[in-house]
Amino acid sequence: MGALSLLIFLPLLAVAAILLLPNRLGASYKYLALAVVLVQFGLAGYLYANFSPTVGEFSAIEGYQYVEQLPWIRMDLGTIGTLEIDYFLGVDGFSLPLLVLSAFVMLMAVGASWNMEKSKKGYFALLMLLNTAVMGIFCALDFFLFYVFYEVMLLPLYFLIGIWGGARREYAAIKFFIYTLFGSVFMLLVIVGLYFSVQSPVSGAHTFNMLYMMNPENYIQGSFFDFLGNSYEIFGIPARMIGFIVLFIAFAIKVPIVPLHTWLPDAHVEAPTPVSIILAGILLKIGGYGIIRICFGIFPDAAADANWWLGLIGVVSIIYGAFNALAQTDLKRLIAYSSVSHMGFVLLGLASFTAEGISGAMFQMISHGFLSAALFFLVGVIYDRVHDRYIYNFRGLAGLMPKYTAYVAIAFFASLGLPGFSAFIGEAFVIIGTFNAESLQTGVPRWMAVFGSIGILMSAAYFLWTLQRMFFGQTRLKGGEAWATALTDLTSREQLILFPTLALALVLGIMPSFVFNVLNQSVLSLLNLVSPYL
């Protein structure tokens, strides 16, 4: 078994062990889950440390490392040919940092689940199943295999929200499931269309191999998604543009972009803290990764034609998310809307089709991954103590919880893009890339960079206003003396979870080369794929 397979299926062994252990050993579930994610994080870190960026095309296997490729499904279809589906894994500079991020965030989620008492067997089994699906998504290079992992991810999240969530958990779980399923059902149609449009240059059979789908020479002349002929149209729109739009919507729901974002605040508010950590830290990044790997990789011509609209959607998401965050009175909902705003920078950077913009977008995804996880964990700390998140029910918390206040202040400053922290690097590179896009004639105007900068200013407004309202001034709590007693400061376990996260934000803010060195060659390979169509 290769390293990537071990990374993917190690949590699945934990699922089997948890289900086999009797309920009287329920206290061992969390230790088993912790052991698995620690090994997983160590393995992901080892792969990252030993990764050597190679010069290779985005559509060629030489551009990927730790590759595993085995025949999975072979079926004779008669006159149609042979059905070929491979177990095909590999990582490059885009996927490997997200694998490490996922392992890190999953470690935080297990730590945040330490005091979970309700149905522990089912909870930790679902958490580990989700872990397997997420790792598989970032490793898969066969579209069918990717889709399997993508769909498996829905099941544990639906139950984790629907069973362990808040008062409106069923509504939030169903809304999340329907939104995501809506995108993935139509994605399947595009996958089938691509399958019948592409032939393997080796066997001549139809294939789900993503790398073959990225190469125009592998498309059958006259097929639905024919790269060169492009003869099919639906309502006057070329078939390849339709395919791009369908896949983009499927992944944009995950990002999420306005107006496909409405599932996110409800899911976050109702989800338990560990699930909110996973939603913000990992799930949103799957959307950005899918746009890069699949939308841009397989439909570079359509992406080049649509990038002005992608940039506009990114700007709208930045401003709209920031205004909504400014209006919130629920702390968790505020952070959920801030995620909509910050992920808008990812789409804006990707739309610029510049090395700076795409690098900044990826850096923003990584930075937002662990910073948003830290923010949702901090909300969970106060909610666990008094079961309230209403901002105006708290004032003067700094006097009661000085350590907690310090961590919140650092997390807020890091998230709003203060120089020296990772979010500043991501947002600055997105703005630089967007500003430079007009000079390079990629189709994105400079006014989008200006409006993106306004989003940074607004993030400072809602984070600092929240800090002032909740933590400073004379202590005044809705629950009075009972709350004052319950609001104890951070425990050692909570600090152990938070400290590495905020330390990482500082380290990457000072030394962004830890990410850029791994990422850079893959960014240039993607630009080489797209640039002929700009």
Q: Residue 180: is its pLDDT beyond 90?
A: no
Taking a C-beta distance cutoff of 8 angstroms, is the pair 432, 512 a contact? Answer: no
| In contact, 502 and 321? CB cutoff 8 Å | no
pLDDT at 172: 86
- Alpha-carbon distance of 246 to 165, in angstroms, equals 31
Average per-residue pLDDT in the chain?
88
Predicted local distance difference test score (pLDDT) of residue 229? 60
Highest average pLDDT, of 36-50, 114-128, 256-270, comes from 36-50
pLDDT tens for 311-328 read: 999 999 999 999 999 999
Residue-level pLDDT at 473:
81
d(CA 261, CA 254): 8
- pLDDT of 116: 83
As a dihedral over the C-alpha atoms of residue 348, residue 280, residue 129, residue 121, rounded to 10 degrees, the angle is -170
CA–CA distance, 455 with 430 (Å, rounded to integer): 12
Q: Residue 405 — very low, low, confident or very high, per pLDDT cuts 50/70/90?
A: very high
Report residue 371's pLDDT band, with 50, 70 and 90 as the boundaries: very high
Q: How far apart are CA 39 and CA 73, in angstroms?
A: 31
Is residue 411 over pLDDT 70?
yes
Q: Using alpha carbons only, what angle is made at residue 211 by residues 209 and 216, rounded to the nearest 5 degrees?
A: 110
Q: Is the pLDDT confidence value at 232 over 80?
A: no
Taking CA 111 as the corner, what is the angle to CA 504 and CA 22, rounded to the nearest 5 degrees?
Answer: 150
82-91 vs 65-76, strand pairing mode = antiparallel
Average pLDDT score over residue span 250-276: 87
Range scoring the smallest mean pLDDT among 51-60, 85-94, 138-147, 331-340: 51-60
Is the per-residue pLDDT at 235 higher than 80?
no
**Cβ-count burial of 324 within 10 angstroms (0-12 exposed, 13-18 middle, 19+ buried)?**
buried
User: What pLDDT does 437 receive?
Assistant: 82
Q: Which two tokens stand for residue 261?
A: 């974002």
**Rounded mean pLDDT of 149-167?**
89
Q: What's the pLDDT score for residue 231?
A: 59
CB 469 within 8 A of CB 330: no
Question: What would you report as the CA-atom Rg of the chain, rounded to the nearest whole angstrom?
Answer: 23
Average pLDDT over residues 367-377: 92
Compute the average pLDDT of residues 442-464: 88
What are the φ and ψ backbone dihedral angles of 496, each rounded to 5 degrees?
-65, -30
- Spatial neighbors of 160 by CB under 8 A, at least 6 apart, are 123, 126, 127, 130, 271, 272, 275
- Would you state the pLDDT for residue 59? 79
- Per-residue pLDDT reduced to its tens digit, 495-529: 999 999 999 999 999 999 999 999 999 999 999 98
Q: Is 81's pLDDT higher than 80?
A: no
Half-sphere exposure of 363 (CA within 13 A, CB side): 35
In degrees, to the nearest 5, what angle opens at C-alpha 49 toward C-alphas 46 and 55?
Answer: 125
| The pair of three-digit structure tokens given for residue 422, joined into one six-digit string | 């990772």
Give the model confidence (pLDDT) of 336-350 as tens digits: 999 999 999 999 999
Residue 470 · residue 394 · CB < 8 Å: yes
Neighbours of 50 (CB within 10 A): 10
Q: What is the pLDDT of residue 230?
A: 61
276-288 mean pLDDT:
90
Contact predicate 291/313, CB 8 Å: no
What average pLDDT does the segment 18-43 reach? 88
